[in-house]
Amino acid sequence: MKFAKESIIKAAPEKVFAFHELPDAFERLIPPWENARVIQKADINQIGSQAIIEQKIFGVIPARWVAEHTKYEPPLMFEDVQISGPFKSWRHQHIIKSHETGAILRDEIEFEAPFWIFGAFAAPFLISPKIEKMFAYRHEVTRKWCEGGE
């Protein structure tokens, strides 16, 4: 499956990229309703750097997510890929482009739902809405910081 979220941010692309390089950027981007805890932070400018997150899926199923940074092209994009975790596969590209009023922040995700056919059937009803809500939050947090309204 594919998911994309795009927002216009009234700030230079370099500033939008710089937000993602903050030491606490990932913690800022975790929505308050997510039951997630960062065990190990990744350094996005180090290819091979890994983040480890523990969370409870649907609030009850414990899961450990290990994501590795595989691309770093400032200030245009960086990418992380799930090494192990709740999805069968997950590739996430963070793309930043120039726009006449600042920058476009685009998140592109390719994923395969867990649980074989059951996950594929449930994805449009359970997984995709959760991802949409999470990335709406993440884009708003990024926009506020970049536009000076932290």
Angle between helices 128-146 and 13-21 (to 10 degrees): 110
More confident position, 6 or 59: 6
Domains, in order of start, for the chain? 2-31+69-146 (3.30.530.20)
- pLDDT band for position 62 (cuts 50, 70, 90): confident
Q: What pTM, to 2 d.p., does this model score? A: 0.90
pLDDT digits (tens, 9 = 90+) for 77-110: 999 999 999 888 999 999 999 999 999 999 999 9
pLDDT in tens, 66-81: 999 999 999 999 999 9
